[in-house]
Structures are given as structure tokens and as C-alpha cells.
């Protein structure tokens, strides 16, 4: 059911719920197939991963002074 006409529907702001109903897909199939077309999903995923993987800077001198 992939079509060049489907992704513009998502980009136009139709909710995933309504889009899913139009296609008759489950949410899992919809997201697996079309999630990369939803604006901002990759940006948001990249931001979340960046927050998870970016180490928090720690000054070890502060830790040593707290132990004393």
C-alpha cells in the first residue's frame, strides 16, 4: 500500500490515529512503515539519544573534597 500520495498526508498534520484508520493498519504497522515521514521524529530521537549518551562533566577534585 506504499504510495507517493501517503507521506504528504502525514506531513500535512493528519494525526497517526486518523491516518491509521484511513489505511486500516495497526499502529505498529503504521509506525514501522511511515514513522520516518513524520516531521521531527528523527530530530526528537536524536535529541533523546544525545541526552542519554552525553556524559555529565564531573570535576574529580570536587569529589575528593566531599569525602574528607
Which residue ranges make up each domain of the chain?
6-54
CA angle 4, 6, 10 (to 5 degrees): 130
- Please tell me the predicted confidence (pLDDT) of residue 7: 67
Where do we find the cell 541526552? Answer: 51
Give the model confidence (pLDDT) of 27-53 as tens digits.
888 778 877 777 677 788 888 888 888
pLDDT, averaged across the chain:
76
Query: Measured between alpha carbons, how far is 50 from 55 in angstroms, rounded to an integer?
Result: 9
The angle, 0 to 180 degrees and rounded to 10, between the axes of the packed helices 27-34 and 16-23 is: 100
- Please tell me the predicted confidence (pLDDT) of residue 1: 47
Element holding 59 (H helix, E strand): none
Amino acid at each position: 500500500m506504499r504510495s507517493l500520495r501517503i507521506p504528504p498526508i502525514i506531513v500535512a498534520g493528519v494525526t497517526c490515529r486518523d491516518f491509521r484508520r484511513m489505511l486500516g493498519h495497526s499502529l505498529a504497522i503504521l509506525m514501522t512503515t511511515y514513522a520516518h515521514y513524520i516531521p521531527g521524529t528523527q530530530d526528537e530521537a536524536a535529541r533523546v539519544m544525545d541526552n542519554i549518551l552525553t556524559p555529565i562533566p564531573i570535576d574529580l577534585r570536587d569529589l575528593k573534597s566531599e569525602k574528607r
